[in-house]
Amino acid sequence: MTAPEFSLLLPVYAGDTPAFLRLAYESSVDDQVVRPAEAVIVQDGPVPAPLEAELARIERDSPIPVRIVRLPENRGLTVALNAGLDACAYPVVARMDADDVSDPQRFRKQLAVMNEGADLVGTGMVEFESDPAIVAAVRVPPTGADRIREHARTHNPFNHPTMMYRVSALDAVGRYQPLGKMEDYWLGVRLIASGARVENIAEPLVRYRVGAGAFARRGGWQEAKTEWMLQREMLRIGFITRTQYVRNVVVKGVYRLMPASLKRVLFRRFVGSGLPGDK
């Protein structure tokens, strides 16, 4: 089979775990039915010696070419991803996080949709806490351009760690832009608003690790303020109406500020319906 024309983009920072990184990388390269043509790993600032050793092992043993982009200091996900995009040699890029697990069929199925003309393809996602085989929740994204666009007015329609996209489509909207932990949601909105062809595969093709404190990190004043900033930007570009803006600010604010224990119950119950949850 001819090597597919796509790059794997995987950011790493000091807080990542070497064993999780190994599993993430091997599931996205070694175990894939259709492998990336290259891997671009962005080291976002200095990392501990064990993680540095794992990166060296990956670079040495990988069955595909690996390019490691080392940023001298931690700059955050937005800067790291844009630096990685600059280093990718292929027009299509698949995202992966350093603690998740890809299904062996993931890239084969996403490429099939990309080959039909899509600019962005996300997938469903299974959440797990420690053992990837034990499912905690399933995130089922909306499918079809119309449903995705409507969903995006109230919730992020894409599971960010599952994305595969054309670099040219991202270039057309200014790539990733800083917006707290919602740079992925803001990217998706701008792509949809620009007329990019977007799609989701409902099937969960990524297993997403939910660590301790995940629901607490989804809340608090800072997250609420970021949410409100996003809503203002969506209103500014005409993606939502003023009525939708007011509703979103109230509903999202309540969600972000409620106790983590209650947030977990609601998210687990309604995750398939799109309650806000972000990576």
Between 211 and 84, residue with greater pLDDT:
84
Asked if residue 64 lies in contact with residue 37, where contact means CB atoms within 8 angstroms, the answer is: yes
The burial of 198, by beta-carbon neighbours within 10 Å (0-12 exposed, 13-18 middle, 19 or more buried), is given as: buried
Q: What is the rounded distance in angstroms from the CA atom of residue 62 to the CA atom of residue 43?
A: 17
pLDDT at 255 over 90: no
Q: What are the φ and ψ backbone dihedral angles of 17, each rounded to 5 degrees?
A: -105, 130
Q: What is the pLDDT of residue 277?
A: 39
Q: What is the pLDDT of residue 61?
A: 97
Instruction: Please write the tens of the pLDDT for every residue from 65-81.
Output: 999 999 999 999 999 99
